[in-house]
Amino acid sequence: MSDTPKSAPGPGPKSAPKKGPKSGPKPAAKPAASASEGDRIAKVLARAGVASRRDAEKIIAEGRVSVNGKVIDSPALNVTGRDKVEVDGAPLAAAEPARLWLYHKPLGLVTSARDEKGRETVFDKLPEDMPRVMSVGRLDLNSEGLLLLTNDGEVKRKLELPSTGWVRKYRVRVNGRPGDDTFEPLRRGVTVEGETFQGMSVTIDRQQGANAWLTVGLREGKNREIRRAMEAVGLTVNRLIRISYGPFRLGELKPGAVEEVKARVLRDQLGLEAPPEEAPKPTVVRSRKPSEQGRTRKNALAAKASGAKGGGFAAKPSGKRAGPARDGVPDERGGKGPGRSSGSKPIDRATGKPGGTFNRKPGGGRSRGSAGERTGGKPGSKPGPKR
């Protein structure tokens, strides 16, 4: 037996090494937009006025929205202005500034974009020049009054949230003769058919025959809430008019009429930011420099008018304050002493009345002469006729 070692086998086909589990986390898939970049697609659709955020999610689930040519079925996607968004094959319009309208909804109209029974909706009756809008909350078929309309889904969502805290007031006519204690359960909050209603304010305005008029205020708007709550205390609602929604009031708006809320009012009420081109200019406060003696022109003119009517002293518009009164007569010279105010007449020393002239002294000074001295007569004599 040979002690020589066996030669190693020649090179043959190499078998593929078995792949074991790789250590470390797998690289994450590259998202279309990072969480900090862009906005959720439902929010973008709502801002463009397509629908509210909740309805936009339904539209996405129905496969009616595409991003960059690819149909999406989940709202968990952020998009930016660089992405091409289409709804039902049409490009998404650019978002417009938020707008709000007051609409007096008449009886017999449905607050819905489409009605399965073919009834007329509030959107069928709006002016043709209005953009695409959505309603803030609802009023049922037999209710009337103030309905808010907006072109911005985010504004709609914000106004509908109970956390906004805005009170919605209604004029309600019920059949019966209720007393104030009838509504105590409603003020505390009631549960109707398993649904709990928050406490509402109820006041009796007047009794009109077999009916009573009430004013009802609530902070949430569940389906037919007032009608169902009144039925819980034995009353039937036969008319319901919404008269206000937070700071917005129906006022004298006629049934079927529409009135837009001013953009500045809307921004102030909702805390919205003004567009750059509409940013408010800084307020310039102009300070009025007080006059030498503190009298304003307004007071001077008032004093002048008073003097003209009553024959008393009228201050000049120059703003100088009259000096202390002497024997009941105000000093027109501002209290500077006789003869020293500009424009004043010299005082006749003999009579104490205005008169006389300023006479120049040889040394360049000036002295006053009385009326008698001016005419060559004795002091105190009457002046002669003017020539």
- The confidence score (pLDDT) of residue 54 equals 80
- The confidence score (pLDDT) of residue 303 equals 56
Just list the catalytic residues: 140
Residues 105 and 135 in one domain: yes
Q: What value does the mean pLDDT take over residues 134-138?
A: 91
- E-strand stretches of 69-210: 70-71, 78-79, 85-87, 90-91, 100-105, 134-136, 144-150, 168-175, 190-192, 195-197, 201-208
Residue 352 or residue 239, greater confidence: 239
Q: In whole angstroms, what is the distance from residue 367 CA to residue 174 CA?
A: 95
Residue 52 · residue 132 · CB < 8 Å: no
Residues 111 and 205 in one domain: no
pLDDT at 2 over 80: no
Residues 237 and 174 in one domain: yes
pLDDT digits (tens, 9 = 90+) for 293-340: 445 555 656 655 555 444 443 344 444 444 444 444 444 444 444 444
Residues 119 and 78 in one domain: no
Residue positions counted in the chain: 387
Residues 154 and 255 in one domain: yes
All residues at 6 or more sequence positions from 168 whose CB lies less than 8 Å from its CB, including other chains: 137, 217, 218, 219, 221, 242, 244, 245, 246
Residues 146 and 160 in one domain: yes
Query: Residue 357 corresponds to which tokens in the numbers above?
Result: 């002239």
Residue 176 · residue 235 · CB < 8 Å: yes
- Which residue, of 258, 274, 290, is where some domain finishes? 274
- Cross-strand pairs, 165: none
Owner of token pair 């204690």:
181
pLDDT digits (tens, 9 = 90+) for 83-109: 999 999 889 877 778 899 999 999 999
Q: In whole angstroms, what is the distance from residue 95 CA to residue 312 CA?
A: 68
Distances in whole angstroms, Cα of residue 24 to Cα of each of 21, 28, 155? 9, 12, 46
Residues 128 and 60 in one domain: no
- The confidence score (pLDDT) of residue 199 equals 93
For residue 13, the tally of other CB atoms under 10 A from its CB is 5
pLDDT digits (tens, 9 = 90+) for 26-46: 444 344 555 557 888 888 888
Residues 57 and 194 in one domain: no
- Please report, for the domain that includes residue 177, its CATH number: 3.30.70.1560
Residue 154 · residue 46 · CB < 8 Å: yes
pLDDT at 381 over 70: no
Residues 133 and 78 in one domain: no
pLDDT at 136 over 60: yes
Residues 254 and 141 in one domain: yes
> 160: pLDDT confidence band, cut at 50, 70 and 90?
confident
φ, ψ of residue 270 in degrees (nearest 5): -105, -5
The total domain count for the chain is 3
- Which residue, of 91, 120, 155, is where some domain finishes? 91
Range of the domain at 229: 167-245
Residue 202 · residue 186 · CB < 8 Å: yes
- The confidence score (pLDDT) of residue 386 equals 56
Direct distance between the N- and C-terminal alpha carbons of the chain, in angstroms, rounded to an integer: 172
DSSP H stretches of helix in the chain: 41-47, 53-61, 153-160, 184-188, 225-232, 263-270, 297-310, 371-375
- Cross-strand pairs, 197: 190
What is the Cβ-side half-sphere exposure of residue 303, based on CA atoms within 13 angstroms?
A: 17
Q: In whole angstroms, what is the distance from residue 146 CA to residue 248 CA?
A: 9
Q: Is 358 helix (H, G, I), strand (E, B) or coil?
A: strand
Distances in whole angstroms, Cα of residue 194 to Cα of each of 34, 57, 227, 236? 43, 28, 16, 20
- The confidence score (pLDDT) of residue 183 equals 96
Q: In whole angstroms, what is the distance from residue 32 CA to residue 80 CA?
A: 10
Residue 365 belongs to a domain: no
Distances in whole angstroms, Cα of residue 129 to Cα of each of 70, 95, 147? 33, 18, 18
Give the pTM.
Answer: 0.57
- Which region holds residue 104: left if phi is over 0, alpha if psi is between -120 and 50, else beta? beta
Residue 290 or residue 60, greater confidence: 60
Residue 330 belongs to a domain: no
